[in-house]
Structure formats: C-alpha cells, structure tokens
Amino acid sequence: MPDRTTQAGQAAPARRRRLTAAQRRESILGAATEVFAAAGYRAAKMSDVAARVGVSEPVIFQNFGTKDALFAAVLDRLASGIHAELEDVAGHHSPAAALLAHILNPATERSHHAPGSPYALFAEAAVLVADPASGEPARRTARVITSHLADLVRSAQAEGGIRAGIDPEAAAWLLLSVLSARPLRAAAMPRPSRLESAVAALALAALAPTPPRPSPKPPAPGRTGSTAPYQQK
C-alpha cells in the first residue's frame, strides 16, 4: 500500500470529495446568499462567492452564466422556503391573524432583515423591481410572497380574525407594501421606534373585523318610542 504520510510523519490531507452537479449548485447558492445579503446586489462580487465555495470564479459562471442569473436563483431559493417557514412559525402563532401580527411586528422584521440576514434580500428585491436585468426575478419573488400572504388572509377570514369582505390578494399586497417600505421608513421617518409600531397597527386595523353594532336599548316601561309634542296649558 502507498504511504499516505508526509516526510514529517503527518497524515497527508484527505482528498476532497467530488460534489455532484446538484450539490455544487446548492453550495454556490448558499455562498451567494451570504455574499448578496452582506454586500447587496450591486456591490457583491462573483469572486467573493467563488472564494466562499472554494472554487475558481469561472466555475460560478459555468453553473449560472451571469451575476443576474445567480441573483435570480438566490431569490427563487429564498422564496420557495417562505411557505415552509410560515408553516413552522404558524405552530407558535395561532390563529392566522396572530401570525400576520407577528409578521408585521417591527421586532420580527428587525431580526429577519438585519444586515447580513438572507431575508434582507427581499428588501433588496423590492428596490430592483424596475431594473431591466433583475426586475423579473424580483417581481416573481414578490408574487410568490403575496401568494403566501393571501393564503394567510383567507385562513384568518375563515377564523373570523379578518373582515370577510376584504379581497385576500389586495390585503396581501397591502401587507407586502408595509413590509417592503420599512427600509425607507427606517432611513427617513422621525422616531421610527414609535411610529413603526403605529404603521403596523394601522395596517392590521384596516383588515380587522367590523365590531358588531350594539343592539338598541328597549324603551323604559311605561314609555313609548315617540315623544309627545310639548303642549302649553
């Protein structure tokens, strides 16, 4: 058998296991998610993605072709995981209206969209919807998210937590608008720590069921519902 030790008596490094095409693609997407989340789409470099994966930069282009295509694949990967995450979070926030309140909670948003968080890419996508190259994957991601939000609205309506007459799709786009505009409000709004909670409360109030009207009080005994005209003696 060949000797697998070095002259210093140390074991030679093990051979790196060759990844399948699917495994290589997944490793690139994971690294690209981290790079795009940390640097943003425009500042991110393909060479940084390659360095995280441990391959040469041409390998990234061989798998995805362009930076735009890689970013689109990252957004698709994140969007496809939204449903599974909502299902997981739903187990801790029931009924559905409580889950929607949790999603709009500024504290939840801060943890999900902190710099470097993968979900910060959704805010990045909202900025890129009009971009000729990256606009379509950004728009596609927005439609996937609103589809999941609309399902939540329907569930909340069935449970009585949201007004029955509201269009679920319109409500979902309202919620996404509140979420996607948070970076703008964080940068420009005075007293964001107070006003952000008020914005979320207004959005939820717009969807809340209409409280039932109180029943009219019956007339007091011995009195009719009409008032006799005042007569002077």
What CATH number is given to the structural domain containing 87?
A: 1.10.357.10
pLDDT digits (tens, 9 = 90+) for 204-233: 999 999 877 777 777 766 655 555 454 554
Residue 213, in any domain of the structure: no
Closest-CA residue to 113 (of 97, 126, 95): 126
Instruction: Work out the mean pLDDT of the chain and round it to a whole number.
Output: 81
Q: What is the rounded CA–CA span in Å between residue 174 and residue 161? A: 17
Residue 124, in any domain of the structure: yes
Residue 180, in any domain of the structure: yes
Residue 155, in any domain of the structure: yes
Q: How many domains does the chain have?
A: 1
Q: Which residue has the higher pLDDT, 229 or 100?
A: 100
pLDDT, average across residues 15-34: 86
Is there a contact between 118 and 33 (Cβ–Cβ < 8 Å)? yes
> What pLDDT, on a 0 to 100 scale, did the predictor assign at position 206?
93
> What pLDDT, on a 0 to 100 scale, did the predictor assign at position 163?
93
pLDDT, average across residues 1-9: 52
pLDDT, average across residues 54-78: 92
Structural domain boundaries enclosing 148? 67-207
Residue 35, in any domain of the structure: no
> Residues of 26-57 as b/e, b for ≥16 C-beta within 10 angstroms?
ebbbbbbbbbbbeeebeebebebbbebbebee
Closest-CA residue to 99 (of 115, 86, 110): 86
Tokens of residue 194, six digits: 């107070």
Residue 47, in any domain of the structure: no
Q: Which of 81-85, 98-102, 114-118, 177-181 has the lowest mean pLDDT?
A: 114-118
Residue 73's pLDDT band, with cuts at 50, 70 and 90, is very high
Residue 18, in any domain of the structure: no
Residue 52, in any domain of the structure: no
Is there a contact between 163 and 205 (Cβ–Cβ < 8 Å)? no
pLDDT, average across residues 100-127: 72
pLDDT, average across residues 58-85: 88
